[in-house]
């Protein structure tokens, strides 16, 4: 999507959108139209029961010179203070026009005293909502193809361009995440995940490195490698470093679960819906996208993104239920269920991250448990943390970006549930509290003094229906959250 900010409406053919709040005088908002246009628009609003609800649209066509123009009245709702309002409005307009035949959308903010931030938010929402991944559709009819190419925001604050620059970097990060999540597992597997990230972040100044199977074996990452045993695709540990902060300052570390396909392994999953497990790398996808966003806006912080990349397959070489593996931390793990593989991947990635970078703050993201979906549905991701301050910072970043988090409990009584009769720990507890015991498992691999949060994003990576900022499919969850978390707490 091309985005432009301008003081005046362009000439030529475009759809015109006029945002209007509950308090605005309709006649004033339509002041730029002639009398016939005002009558048409007012009647269309009434006929379509348009009540200026946030994101609601009333459509009409008015005569403009010697042609007709599509006019959209778009609601701003009652109050202007909602953080996501203008993004939502941009998203609604884009969803409405994406395949409408219109190529250009002009949103005229003149008269509503919109700031540059608000103007940039409309553009962000429109561009975010317009993202699609059609590369495998060779037979899409002309009518089903997107037509909207450009959005021009007229009359926003003078600093709109500047505000847009950061949001555009964020969008690029979100788009990378959505692409990684959307791609099928025959295309994105550990090696190709690394290569896709390298290409995508070229020239941004992110240092990228990947450990291969042999290097991981030498480091003793047998928990991670055990998951990978059944796969023909070799595993990788992807490391992305952004050194935008003071030299020598400890980095914030993000760790992502990157199971590029999760069959369950020998504890194989049922066939119905298994294709969804192509997005079991959503945590790694979010970490990669966040690194791109953070580097793209040249954040003044040191941030490291680490992705544990493996494929979980059943095979003659696959690990078995009951196997005991020694993790890099030295702790032994009884693998009761090979489908509880995410924690096995993360524990070694987290141990390596802490040994290598000695962070004060470690945040992991993972599509870790189906139980998380049962608990919170698709609205909130679960947050587990050993630090109340970190909980507040993350929850706040979540509220402000729409990547919402809800804190879940940790505790010794839950921790006891994963004691093993043969090893230090087993990889599953009872059916109850499945998301919490998964988090307890990870906590056993957190070093003393490290502020750690685990985000279980199993319910938010993929959406069965369109949201205000995404179409159905990959949401890009976590990128805006991590970017905002860094901006608000680790810069300056
Ligand atoms: N990747 C899944 C969790 C998942 C399920 C994510 C559905 C998104 C949607 C994870 O590896 C898994 O299989 N977890 C098991 C754990 C169980 C064996 C303790 C689960 O949730 O059933
Ligand atoms: Mn699994
Ligand atoms: Zn999994």
Counting as low any pLDDT under 50, the low residues of the chain are none
E strands in 313-434? 323-326, 332-335, 361-366, 381-385, 405-407, 425-426
Task: State whether the beta carbon of 345 lies less than 6 angstroms from ligand 1.
Answer: no
What is the number of structural domains in the chain? 2
Residue 140's pLDDT is 96
- Residues 98 and 185 grouped into a single domain: no
Q: What CATH number did the domain enclosing 129 receive?
A: 3.40.220.10
Task: State whether the beta carbon of 280 lies less than 6 angstroms from ligand 1.
Answer: yes
User: Which of 370, 376, 427, 430 to mutate for ligand 1's pocket (most ligand atoms within 8 Å of CB)?
Assistant: 370
The CA 401 to ligand 1 mean position distance, Å, reads 26
Nearest CA to ligand 1 atom 14: 369
Nearest CA to ligand 1 atom 16: 340
Q: What CATH number did the domain enclosing 253 receive?
A: 3.40.630.10
Helix (H) or strand (E) holding 197: helix 190-200
- Residues 226 and 275 grouped into a single domain: yes
Task: State whether the beta carbon of 337 lies less than 6 angstroms from ligand 1.
Answer: yes
State the residue range of the domain holding 139: 2-158
Task: State whether the beta carbon of 340 lies less than 6 angstroms from ligand 1.
Answer: yes
The CA 134 to ligand 2 mean position distance, Å, reads 28
Q: Which two tokens stand for residue 230?
A: 């059944």
User: Which of 260, 274, 339, 454 to mutate for ligand 1's pocket (most ligand atoms within 8 Å of CB)?
Assistant: 339
Task: State whether the beta carbon of 339 lies less than 6 angstroms from ligand 1.
Answer: yes
The CA 278 to ligand 3 mean position distance, Å, reads 9
Residues, CB within 5 angstroms of ligand 3 (ion): 259, 262, 280, 342
- Residues 411 and 462 grouped into a single domain: yes
Residue 384's pLDDT is 99
Nearest CA to ligand 1 atom 5: 370
Atom nearest to 312 CA in ligand 1: 11
Question: Which residues belong to the active site?
Answer: 269, 343
Residue 492's pLDDT is 83
- Domain limit, last residue, from 100, 133, 158: 158
- Residues 86 and 180 grouped into a single domain: no
Task: State whether the beta carbon of 323 lies less than 6 angstroms from ligand 1.
Answer: no
The CA 280 to ligand 3 mean position distance, Å, reads 5
- Residues 129 and 207 grouped into a single domain: no
The CA 53 to ligand 1 mean position distance, Å, reads 38
Ligand nearest to the CA of 438: 1
- Residues 230 and 336 grouped into a single domain: yes
Contact between 310 and 232 under an 8 Å Cβ cutoff? The reply is no
- Residues 241 and 143 grouped into a single domain: no
- Residues 380 and 421 grouped into a single domain: yes
pLDDT digits over 351-375, tens only?
999 999 999 999 999 999 999 999 9
Ligand nearest to the CA of 276: 1
Task: State whether the beta carbon of 367 lies less than 6 angstroms from ligand 1.
Answer: yes
The CA 14 to ligand 1 mean position distance, Å, reads 47
- Domain limit, last residue, from 141, 158, 175: 158
- Residues 288 and 383 grouped into a single domain: yes
- Residues 121 and 172 grouped into a single domain: no
Residue 313's pLDDT is 99
User: Which of 258, 283, 369 to mutate for ligand 1's pocket (most ligand atoms within 8 Å of CB)?
Assistant: 369
- Residues 329 and 359 grouped into a single domain: yes
Task: State whether the beta carbon of 370 lies less than 6 angstroms from ligand 1.
Answer: yes
DSSP 3-state assignment of 208? Answer: strand
Task: State whether the beta carbon of 338 lies less than 6 angstroms from ligand 1.
Answer: no
- Domain limit, last residue, from 132, 158, 184: 158
Whether pTM > 0.95 for this model: the answer is yes
Residue 64's pLDDT is 85
- Residues 146 and 174 grouped into a single domain: no
């Amino acid at each position: 999507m091309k985005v432009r900010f301008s003081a005046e409406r362009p000439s030529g053919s475009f759809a015109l959108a006029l945002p209007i709040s509950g308090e605005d005088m309709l006649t004033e908002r339509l002041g730029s139209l002639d009398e016939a246009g005002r009558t048409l628009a007012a009647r269309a609003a009434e006929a379509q029961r348009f009540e200026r609800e946030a994101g609601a649209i009333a459509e009409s066509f008015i005569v403009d010179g010697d042609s007709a123009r599509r006019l959209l009245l778009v609601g701003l709702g009652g109050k202007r203070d909602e953080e996501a309002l203008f993004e939502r409005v941009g998203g609604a307009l884009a969803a409405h026009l994406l395949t409408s035949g219109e190529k250009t959308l002009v949103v005229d903010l003149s008269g509503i005293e919109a700031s540059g931030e608000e103007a940039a938010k409309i553009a962000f929402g429109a561009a975010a909502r317009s993202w699609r991944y059609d590369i495998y559709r060779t037979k899409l009819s002309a009518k089903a193809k997107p037509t909207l190419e450009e959005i021009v925001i007229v009359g926003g604050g003078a600093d709109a361009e500047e505000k847009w620059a950061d949001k555009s970097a964020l969008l690029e990060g979100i788009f990378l995440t959505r692409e990684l999540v959307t791609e099928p597992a025959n295309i994105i597997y550990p090696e190709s995940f690394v290569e896709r990230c390298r290409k995508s972040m070229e020239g941004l100044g992110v240092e990228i490195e990947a450990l291969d199977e042999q290097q991981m074996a030498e480091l003793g990452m047998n928990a991670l490698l055990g998951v990978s045993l059944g796969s023909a695709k070799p595993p990788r540990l992807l490391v992305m470093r952004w050194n935008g902060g003071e030299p020598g300052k400890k980095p914030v570390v993000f760790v992502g679960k990157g199971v590029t396909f999760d069959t369950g392994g020998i504890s194989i999953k049922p066939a119905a819906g298994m294709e969804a497990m192509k997005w079991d790398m959503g945590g790694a996808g979010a970490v990669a996208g966040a690194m791109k966003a953070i580097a793209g806006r040249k954040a003044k912080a040191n941030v490291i993104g680490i992705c544990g990349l493996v494929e979980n397959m059943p095979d003659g070489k696959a690990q078995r239920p009951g196997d005991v593996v020694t993790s890099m931390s030295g702790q032994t793990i009884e693998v009761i269920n090979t489908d509880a593989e995410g924690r096995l991947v993360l524990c070694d990635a987290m141990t390596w991250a802490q040994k290598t970078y000695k962070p004060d703050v470690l945040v992991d993201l993972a599509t870790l448990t189906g139980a998380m979906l049962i608990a919170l549905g698709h609205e909130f991701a679960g947050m587990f943390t050993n630090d109340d301050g970190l909980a507040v910072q993350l929850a706040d970043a979540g509220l402000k970006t729409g990547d919402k988090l809800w804190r879940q409990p940790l505790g010794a009584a839950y921790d006891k549930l994963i004691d093993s009769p043969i090893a230090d720990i087993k990889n599953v507890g009872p059916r109850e509290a499945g998301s919490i015991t998964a988090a307890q498992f990870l906590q056993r691999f957190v070093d003393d003094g490290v502020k750690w949060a685990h985000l279980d994003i199993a319910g938010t990576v993929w959406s069965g229906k369109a949201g205000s900022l995404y179409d159905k499919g990959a949401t890009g969850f976590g990128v805006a959250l991590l970017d905002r978390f860094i901006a608000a707490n680790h810069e300056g």
